[in-house]
Structure 1
Amino acid sequence: MSSTEKAAQIKLMESQLAQLSAAPHTPAQDAEILRLQARVRELQAEILGEANERHEMTPMDRVRLARHPDRPYSLDFIHLLFTDFHELHGDRRFADDPAIVCGFARFEGEPVFIVGQQKANYKQRKMEDRKYRNFGMPKPEGYRKAIRLMQMAAKFRRPVISFIDTPGAYPGIEAEERGQGEAIARNIIEMMRLPTPTIGVIIGEGGSGGALAIGACDRIDMLENTIYSVISPEGCASILWRDANKADLAAAAMKITPEPLKAAGIVDEIIPEPGEGAHTDHAAAAENLRPVLIRQLKELSALSPEKLIEQRYARYCRLGAFVIEN
């Protein structure tokens, strides 16, 4: 079976998993869910193993790694890198959103504020845990919680560290009714004004406005096998070619992997991953990130609030600039 056929099987089984999870559970259905999840992991490992044997990781291979169900999520990095983490909840308007975790902690002994998108419970990767976290797709109350607490952190000059990992903001009707677009736009505006250092780390998928809403930062870093894009490769292929199976072509054309994004000045640093990817060793992935955070926090903390905002504004004004050669 070719890698393309295996990818099609994975897509089919993920659709079956979604249907089974939505229905009332019976012991037989629970067993089938576990069997399908195991088979999906097996096929993903085979695809990635074949790519490694060929010594060529295509952009679509990187997409699969970014979505790997065993990758470390925000809470994994929080527990591995930080101490004294105290999670805070609620947007003080509607509800708490489990897809976004926020709280104060200490990094290398210094107080910081952390916000991160979470796709499943800490150390729990079952389907019900993913559903509880809405598969890492935040709703408006999640973004409002995040900016409320980021502004609190800024009052006390606490650096903000964002862990970005979402396929995109939740597109459901109820989210739109509660102002999803406005919440994302408001977060971007307010993050540009925060008088405190901000660092964004893409640890999986950096999907569209859902990622930007906690990612308008002074520095943006990407783990080696992550993506950052305005739309998924499948979505792009559906629009351009009306065929989601051409996602591999879209992934290559979109330049969504770390290297072209760094070359374009969108990303500051690429963090190497251990072994065949961060999913193989969470602790090693976290340790690779640690010195980068230490250095960037030191650089940014030396700047005045006015200089931080000035440089942040200039950074985002440069994005999208192009030169016409005669």
Structure 2
Amino acid sequence: MQKTYEQPIDVKKTPYFTAALKLPNADPQKDYYAKFIVYSGFESVEGLAKLDPTTGWQQLALPLDKWKGELYIDEATFAKKVTENKDYVNFEVSANQLSQKLEVGSQISVTVTNNSSDKLNKKLIVDTSKELQYSPSSISLDGLKTGQSKTVTLKVTKYIPKDGVEPKLTLKYESRSFQFPLQDKDPVVVPSGMLYSFEDGVQGWTAGGNVASVSAVQSFANGPTMPNEGNYALAAVSQPAAADAWKTLAVTTAAPVDLTASPVFYYHINSYGGVPNATYETKVLLKSGTEVFTHTAAMSPDQWNRIAVDTSEWAHHSSIDGIEISFRVVGNAMAWAPQFQIDNIGSEQ
């Protein structure tokens, strides 16, 4: 839903954008998010909150007091002040069991993303029991800023299986508690031609230009909210930058990749949308030493886009040692810090 006003609205005296949202017939097993975007010319500010599908109306507020001047507002109402829920801090926690078998030495990747307007300064406590213990016992968030993510790997230091009890990882931040079931996983079957599936973590991918952090996730805020294939996708949180600046993910391959027998390189990409008067595009860059192959294609936000490119005419496709995948907006240079995801990267004939 989007609304543009004929005249700018000055909200200095009512610096909170508020809205009540309800999810009728929501599936409690799925993740739901609300995102507000406020525009002032080419500038914007946005807020993201994870919704509880088991409750009714949920009141959300986006603070605008740090903005100067007049504002174009999407939808809903304005308030002079709001009542803050001291027991609720707007951030997300995800956990990915990296080891197939739960045992002493198993690793669990924990990612914290701050969606609130304030820094996160307190520690995330790792709950333990007589049967299940971890190291470290807490995760320092080190003043995690709005939109930033931090990933920490926990190591299981004690595990004694108990009949009838499903092991869980429990993380606590003030009055909030997050639980993640732990269990032995079936071996990952990698289809022929698959290079990266992210089923066991980030697989060497790192943040490139205008990207703050990366993590393997099971769900995300923008549509369609779930991986293209399997249980995990690679998610990127961008740094604030012009919307038309490339946001990039990169990997150095563990060993040179030979595309001679399957020269069509493909990947799937998804991103935030909502930028006014703009289109979206993605770019892949393949490296072989100092040689580079690039391909740019149009894409659509809030859906998985399959991008395929034939490298058979590139003389160096038999020894690829680096890959970069990027996306950006075309037609609008407003400040923007979106998230985007990639998944299911491989090659075929």
- The TM-score, its normalising length taken from structure 1, stands at 0.27
Q: Which has the higher strand share?
A: 2
Q: Which has the higher helix share?
A: 1
